[in-house]
Amino acid sequence: MKKTMKRYIVGGYVRDKLSGKSPQDRDWVVVGATEAEMLAAGFQRVGAGFPVFLHPDTKEDHALARKDIKTGAGHRGFAFDFSKDVTLDEDLLRRDFTVNCLVTDESENLIKTALNERALRDLENRTLDIVDINHFAEDPLRAVRAARFAATLGFKMTERTRAECVRMADSGELSFLPAERFCAEFIKAFDAKSGGAFVENLHDLKALSAYCPALESLFSCPEKVKYHPEGHTGGHVVNALKWLDRNIDSFDLNKQDRQSVYWAVLLHDIGKPLTDPAEFPRHIGHDKLGADLLRTDFCARLKLPSFTAKLCRFVCENHMRFHHFPEMRKATKFDFVFDIYKRTDDKPMLFLIACLADRYCNRTGDGWRKDFKDALGFISTVYEQASAIRLTAEEIDALPPEKRAEALRQKRLAALSDFLFSS
């Protein structure tokens, strides 16, 4: 790299390292270089928008220092100045929050910038403050990012940060956000085990209704305080997500399944605002109404993967059935077990976790662990033992094809009758 080029580590890596956390991937900004010079130095350009370069050895992301020029509405309405005379301070000025403007040199020694004093003070005080209100207002995604950063970092927004985010929400600017960008912030919050606080912050900033007014309506949907002391469905959903935040690591789930469970908990009561207001705070039939809503283009607009959407519909429609599982008749209980396996692609644990988040969100202690172990053990035993039972060749020959499935079901029910009755 030529001597005129200088590269610096910026953003979350520096913030987290100074906070005593284990920092993740390093992001670099390069000052005093052109795209041609980066390519000549062996960097590989990636991305269709503004150029990002992969280091030839470490493969870490490097971006040229730039100034953003607002040219139109929304998140994509920008032109960029990547000239080699853009300074580090100019690049930092167009960023969102002060704590994301801390910079180190290549040896990870903190360097002084025009924003250094503010950034270090805000990091120490655990506050989320806007770098420059004019630049901040140009990108509506930053209001959603404010909700996420406050949730994942556990920081408090300054009053001007909150006021500007609310203004952006009230102006309708958030409607210009691509749905995938909006929902990507949910996924980042879920991955950081901060789903509850994130949704709570989005509601506080009036940002929920941009792509999902159905979620915002949960916060004005009344609940019986006896069962949901929050007083409204939105508060109940937030607490269910917070239960999941606290306990998700107790389950051996891959990243995609973890995200699917979060979405299922977020949407499990989406049908409550659709029930008859004359019956409030009762919500008769909310499970079916919610599932019907999720069967429209709702999940597609949220860009949910097909399995995640499938799990959300099943949890929405059946979480109340799970709570009444012990009182079910044997045949109903048997059929429900098979339905759980079929509709979760043989992952009953995901359904159970979502139901436990709904049930235990306002309880203390670890009583849910026994419930989970017992429920998973029961349905696994029923499914595995029943699946091992087959019709004999003679039984198959004696039955017309249309009656064989029911005959198999009855044979399995008879074999497991005592076990089903005792549980």
On the question of a common fold for 140-211 and 214-328+336-367, the answer reads no
pLDDT digits (tens, 9 = 90+) for 147-192: 999 999 999 999 999 999 999 999 988 888 888 889 999 999 999 9
Q: What is the mean pLDDT of residues 13-36?
A: 93
Q: According to the model, what pLDDT value does residue 73 have?
A: 53
Lowest-confidence pick of 72-81, 176-185, 306-315: 72-81
- In the CATH scheme, what architecture does the domain 140-211 have? Orthogonal Bundle (1.10)
pLDDT digits (tens, 9 = 90+) for 241-254: 999 999 999 999 99
**CA pair distance 126, 136, nearest whole angstrom:** 19
Exposure b/e, 29-54, CB count within 10 A at least 16 = b: bbbbbeeebbeebebeeeeeeebbbb
CA-to-CA separations, 113 to 12, 146, 223, 246, 381, in angstroms, rounded: 16, 23, 51, 38, 63
Percent of residues, the chain, with pLDDT higher than 90: 83
**Taking the alpha carbons of 223, 225, 227, 232 in that order, is the dihedral positive or negative?**
positive
What length is written for the chain? Answer: 423
213: Cβ contacts below 8 Å, ≥ 6 apart:
none
Q: According to the model, what pLDDT value does residue 78 have?
A: 54
Which residue has better confidence, 210 or 35? 35
Element (H, E) at 7: strand 6-10
**CA pair distance 187, 251, nearest whole angstrom:** 18
Q: Extract the runs of DSSP E, i.e. beta strands, from 93-183.
A: 103-104, 127-128, 156-157
Q: According to the model, what pLDDT value does residue 174 have?
A: 87
Q: What is the reported pTM?
A: 0.93
Tokens of 369: 């662990």
- Average pLDDT of the chain to the nearest whole number: 93
Q: Which long-range contacts (CB under 8 A, 24 or more apart) does 158-161 make?
A: 158/127, 158/128, 158/129, 158/130, 160/129, 160/130, 160/133, 161/97, 161/128, 161/129, 161/130
Lowest-confidence pick of 74-78, 82-86, 190-194: 74-78
Please state which CATH class domain 1-119 belongs to: alpha beta
- Given a cut of 90, whether residue 366 has pLDDT beyond it is yes
- CATH classification number, 214-328+336-367, choose in 1.20.1070, 1.10.3470, 1.10.3210, 2.20.25: 1.10.3210
Q: What is the mean pLDDT of residues 302-317?
A: 96
Q: According to the model, what pLDDT value does residue 311 have?
A: 98
**CA pair distance 423, 421, nearest whole angstrom:** 6
Q: According to the model, what pLDDT value does residue 71 have?
A: 52
Q: According to the model, what pLDDT value does residue 79 have?
A: 66
Q: According to the model, what pLDDT value does residue 359 have?
A: 97
pLDDT digits (tens, 9 = 90+) for 285-301: 999 999 999 999 999 98
Q: According to the model, what pLDDT value does residue 420 have?
A: 81
User: Quick check: 322 and 351 in contact, CB under 8 A?
Assistant: yes
- Given a cut of 60, whether residue 215 has pLDDT beyond it is yes
CB atoms within 10 A of CB 330: 15
- Given a cut of 80, whether residue 379 has pLDDT beyond it is yes
Q: According to the model, what pLDDT value does residue 194 have?
A: 98
Q: What is the mean pLDDT of residues 199-217?
A: 92
Lowest-confidence pick of 183-192, 208-217, 333-342: 208-217
pLDDT band, very low/low/confident/very high, at 4 (cuts 50, 70, 90)? confident
CA-to-CA separations, 289 to 286, 294, 318, in angstroms, rounded: 5, 9, 12
Q: Left (φ > 0), alpha (ψ -120 to 50) or beta: where does 11 sit?
A: left
User: Quick check: 29 and 87 in contact, CB under 8 A?
Assistant: no
**CA pair distance 243, 222, nearest whole angstrom:** 21
Question: Domain-by-domain residue ranges, the chain?
Answer: 1-119, 140-211, 214-328+336-367
Q: According to the model, what pLDDT value does residue 76 have?
A: 54
- Given a cut of 90, whether residue 342 has pLDDT beyond it is yes
Q: According to the model, what pLDDT value does residue 1 have?
A: 53
pLDDT digits (tens, 9 = 90+) for 261-275: 999 999 999 999 999
**Alpha helices of 26-109 — where are they, by DSSP H?**
35-40, 88-93
User: Quick check: 13 and 26 in contact, CB under 8 A?
Assistant: yes
